[in-house]
Chains A and B, each alone.
Chain A
Amino acid sequence: MTFSIARLRLDAEILSIAAAALLGLSLIFVAGFANATVLHDAAHDQRHAIAFPCH
């Protein structure tokens, strides 16, 4: 019983790490790569400053 509870917690840990990585990558994509004009205009100076390829 304790073994399966421990394994459940480990699985939840792997899931939370994967979720954090995935969310992080999506945020980086939005900040640096997404193409929408409104987004590009708002992000313009930041993209140059962080050196995401821009234009």
Chain B
Amino acid sequence: MPVIPRTLSGALIAGLVAGLLAAALNLWTLTPLILQAEVFEGATLHVHDDGVEHLHEAPPPPGAAQAGSRSLGTVATTLVAYLGFGLVLGAGMAAAARWGHEPTARTGLLWGLAGFAAVQLAPAVGLPPELPGLASADLGARQMWWALCVAATATGLAALAFGRSLPFLVLGAALVLLPHALGAPQPASHEGLVPPGLAALFATRSLGVAALSWAVLGALTGALAERSPARRTA
């Protein structure tokens, strides 16, 4: 098989593997925090006349059957997301292969880490991964900024990685910084009932899971696209 179809089919397999890994890690490390946060999301703060505050907690969490279908939804949609990430990453690696940058497991790892930087790390600088129940700005505005940030960072990193002249490097750096110079839409106030420690733990864990999943996605795509040693000598 020539390098382009090898890269694209490799990306599909890698997307499936990385998606399963991410889904398992999400269910293990992140879903419990979401469930904890939802208790606060539905809660109301009640202040007595004498100034004593206490929380009215939300209704108890759903039963086992509902939890099962909820986990299934998480696994299925995480797979869809990572298949999508894999295909776009694979398309980038295949395009680079046409310019003579043949993919390997090593360059694949770099592609994966760059994907993590563009799709997770850079947007998180403006819009941290957030739990349900935290204050946030208008959804449409945040989605616009997220898409702009991902596109600008990915294009900027490509210019930095493949640009061989100073103008390309300047353009690349400018594109990476642009979304943050514009600034992500922020809520009027960051107040919320979810404990700050829980929110912080969620943000860091989310980035950790994403970093590992993207590294596997890129490295595996590269490894599957790499000409096997036996065929190289043939």
Main secondary structure of the interface of B (DSSP, over half): helix
Within A30-54, which residues are at the interface with B (CB < 8 Å)? 30-33, 39, 41-54
Q: Are A43 and B77 in contact (CB under 8 A)?
A: yes
Docked-complex contact B74 and A45, CB < 8 angstroms: yes
Partner of A55, one of B129, B136, B209: B136
For B30, the closest partner residue in chain A by CB is: A49
Q: Which residues of B from 47 to 88 have beta carbons under 8 Å from A?
A: 70, 72-74, 76-78, 80-81, 83-88
Number of interface residues of A (CB under 8 A): 35
A46–B83 touching, CB < 8 Å: no
Q: Digitize B72-115: 1 where CB-to-A-CB distance is under 8 Å, 0 elsewhere.
A: 11101110110111111111101100100000000000000000
- How big is chain B's contact interface, by range? 35 or more
CB neighbors of B among A1-39 (8 A): 9, 13-14, 16-18, 20-21, 23-33, 39
What's the Cα separation between A44 and B81 when bound, in Å? Answer: 13
Residue from A25, A30, A45, A55 whose CB has the most chain B CB atoms within 10 Å: A45
Give the residue name and chain of the A residue nearest to B27 (CB).
A45
B131 within 8 A of A: yes
Complex formed: what's the CA distance from A6 to B143 in Å?
42
Known: A13-B4, A51-B127. 11 other contacts (CB 8 A): A14-B98, A20-B94, A24-B86, A28-B88, A29-B84, A39-B77, A42-B72, A42-B74, A45-B73, A47-B77, A54-B132
Question: B interface vs A, CB < 8 Å?
Answer: 2, 4-5, 8, 11, 22-23, 26, 30-31, 34, 70, 72-74, 76-78, 80-81, 83-92, 94-95, 98, 120, 123-124, 127-132, 136, 139, 142-143, 146, 202, 206, 209-210
